[in-house]
Amino acid sequence: MAAPEAHFAERYGPWGVVAGASEGLGLAFAEALARRGVNLMLIARRAAVLNDAAQSLEDRFGIEAESHVLDLASPDAAARCQAAAGPREVGLVVYNAAYSVIGPFLDHPVESRLKEIDLNCRGPLCFAHSFGEGMTKRGRGGMVLLSSLAGFQGSALIANYAATKAYNLVLGEGLWDEFRDHGVDVLVCCAGATRTPNYERSTPRDRESSLVPVQAPEMVAEEALTALGRRAVLVPGRANRIASFVIRRLLSRRRATLLMGRNTRRLYGGAARR
Ligand SMILES: NC(=O)c1ccc[n+]([C@@H]2O[C@H](COP(=O)([O-])OP(=O)(O)OC[C@H]3O[C@@H](n4cnc5c(N)ncnc54)[C@H](OP(=O)(O)O)[C@@H]3O)[C@@H](O)[C@H]2O)c1
């Protein structure tokens, strides 16, 4: 059930967790939640950046914001976050952080691919399991999992990353159906190119597509929180929705995979890492 902005904190508060919150999309989600009156537990690895973000949110929005320095790729990250939450009611989890190694599959050690799975798959799985329990018992709450347009089909140079994003998509869809009977809303946000610091570091400006504009993180976060409780899956941005319609509905899966691979090679031909 969607919550109008004024009632957002009643439905998804009083506390929210943003996993991967210090910059980019994660910070945009944190700001959008703070604006809606949700107190925040912010998670990332860099203490100074995270502390600044928490302080700024408290000053601007009058909420409580705590920073928790944690490596979300570690196996006990969700348990440690749950322990840090203690008796607080966490009504919303946004699992945002992801790791991606761009380049030919065999050029990178398997350990880096396993780290993609730890952060991008094990992380959201454990957070959904850990915080889902309290939410379903209380009969209210929400979860946002970050997927990507890359999660709709395979793609050369990001084969494993794309597979981790497909995992988030399918996990989130299933939980959307399972948890809605318990009053908990789940949304999978399949973002397209979004101008985050991570994106800027990895993507050469002169190779960006002029057909699909790169979105601002604030737009993606706003669209996602508005869609929470209204649908299971969101592709934010009109141009991304058109692109995903063409790729998913008009092209065969084989053609879609080849097209994505061609586009990824054009963007990252020199093999970057982020
Ligand atoms: N940007 C895009 O174009 C795009 C497109 C499609 C989908 N997405 C998805 O959107 C999400 C965010 O995108 P983004 O990569 O651009 O990231 P972002 O939101 O700009 O930043 C990643 C955040 O996660 C934190 N983080 C990264 N690794 C972490 C770890 N091991 N433990 C704790 N915190 C960690 C970072 O802080 P610290 O470095 O301080 O830890 C940072 O706050 C990802 O799930 C991604 O797959 C992004």
Q: From the centroid of its chain, how far is CA 113?
A: 18
Q: What is the pLDDT of residue 271?
A: 47
How far is 258 from 252, CA to CA, in rounded Å?
Answer: 10
Q: 184 forms bridges with which residues in the sheet?
A: 141
Distances (CA, A) of 110 to 35, 105, 114: 41, 9, 6
Q: Ligand 1: which atom is nearest the Cα of residue 20?
A: 24
pLDDT in tens, 153-193: 999 999 999 999 999 999 999 999 999 999 999 999 999 99
Q: Ligand 1 centre from 239 Cα, in Å?
A: 22
CA distances for 255 relative to 10, 147, 241, 246, 247, angstroms: 45, 21, 18, 11, 8
Q: Please, which pLDDT band fits residue 274 given cuts at 50, 70 and 90? A: very low
**Residue 269: pLDDT band with limits 50, 70, 90:** confident
Q: How far is CA 94 from CA 25, 131, 214, in A?
A: 10, 11, 22
Ligand 1 centroid vs 100 CA: distance in angstroms?
9
Element (H, E) at 54: helix 47-61
Respond yes or no: is residue 99 known to be catalytic. no
- In this structure, which residue's CA is closest to atom 44 in ligand 1? 98
Let me know how many helices (H) and strands (E) the chain has, helices first. 11, 7
| Residue to probe by mutation, ligand 1, list 25, 68, 268, most atoms within 8 Å of CB | 25
Mutation to probe ligand 1, out of 17, 94, 96 (largest number of atoms < 8 A from CB):
96
